[in-house]
Amino acid sequence: MVKVTIAQMSPVLGDLTKNAEKHYDLIEKAIESKSDIIIFPELSLTGYFLRDLVEETSLSIHSHILKELKEFSKYISIVVGGVFEDENFLLYNSAFYLEDRELKHIHKKVYLPDYTMFEEGRYFTPGNSFTVFNTRYLRVGILICEDALQVSSIYAMKLQKAEVIFVISNSPARGLEEKKFYSKDFWYTALKYMALSCNAYTVFVNRIGVEEGVTFWGGSIIYSPMGEVVKECSLFDKEIATSRLDKDEVRRVRIISPFLKDDKSSIIAKLINSH
């Protein structure tokens, strides 16, 4: 069993120091609760509407904040969101996975929304891969917000046999009605499909708070490999929630479910090669 902590929180726009301190505090509490992994939202170290602050808030692999997080990762595995600056000075909306005092993986967001209120394509370089990797606990894939809404990324998780998919997000509340709103219904449908299709735990961590007049709705949720809700967080409020993921449950579902067994990836390969 793997104990995970969801950190549904609100970062301060553009303030790396304050946000890092928030992370350290929450990580220490998660360590005290004997959690194995803590997951923060998209761009949790920086806030979302960075615009010209993107360069100022970027982190290289030598950043003191990443070094501090590496030290914490002796005791707990960590997923955080921030801006990564590579050796060519390109800037990426990224997720960092730290474990055993190592920066084990960096996922660079591939699908950068650049419509309505979103301007990511203007400020960030897109990533170009979806990599599933082994960790101390489970085989992990990481997606950032809109990545999780594209068929290609879901299929990449499926082909690489991810056992848990961490989806970190900055999803704003849109389409409000009396008893529901569009963003929540859309996301929960997509996440449940992902869990069922990949027979994998799907852990969605969405931020809260108001930034530049935009409200983020929280509602972080965990789906089981059978698409059942394991944990659902509150809407619009800070919440630090814990739950357990069971590798034996992944095994059980993959034995009884046809979705991985019956997949025909060769059909997709032929289509891609013919275009």
94-141 pLDDT, tens digit per residue, is 999 999 999 999 999 999 998 888 999 999 999 999 999 999 999 999
List of residues 6+ apart from 178 with CB closer than 8 A: none
Largest CA distance in the chain: 54
Q: Does the global pTM surpass 0.85?
A: yes
Phi, psi of 163 (to 5 degrees): -95, -25
> What distance in Å separates the CA atoms of residue 209 and residue 190, rounded to the nearest whole number?
23
248 pLDDT band (50/70/90 cuts)? Answer: very high
> Where do runs of H (alpha helix) occur along 110-243?
120-123, 151-159, 182-198
Q: Strands 208-211, 139-144: parallel, antiparallel or unpaired by DSSP?
A: unpaired
Question: What is the pLDDT at residue 261?
Answer: 81
At 262, list the tokens: 């019956």
Question: What is the pLDDT at residue 116?
Answer: 83
> What distance in Å separates the CA atoms of residue 145 and residue 3, rounded to the nearest whole number?
23
Question: What is the pLDDT at residue 178?
Answer: 60
Q: What is the pLDDT of residues 48-91, one digit of tens each?
A: 999 999 999 999 999 999 999 999 999 999 999 999 999 999 99
Side chain identity, residue 170: N
Break the chain into its structural domains and give their ranges: 2-273
Q: What is the pLDDT of residues 254-271, one digit of tens each?
A: 999 888 888 888 888 898
At 253, list the tokens: 């579902």
Ramachandran bin of 208, using left for φ above 0, alpha for ψ from -120 to 50, beta for the remaining angles: beta
Mean per-residue pLDDT for 158-171? 97
Q: Is the pLDDT assigned to residue 181 strictly greater than 90?
A: no
Q: How many CB atoms lie within 10 A of CB 145?
A: 26
> Would you tell me which CATH number, out of the four given (3.40.30.10, 3.40.50.1820, 3.60.110.10, 3.40.50.300), belongs to the domain 2-273?
3.60.110.10
Mean per-residue pLDDT for 191-206? 97
179 pLDDT band (50/70/90 cuts)? Answer: low
Q: Is the pLDDT assigned to residue 177 strictly greater than 70?
A: no
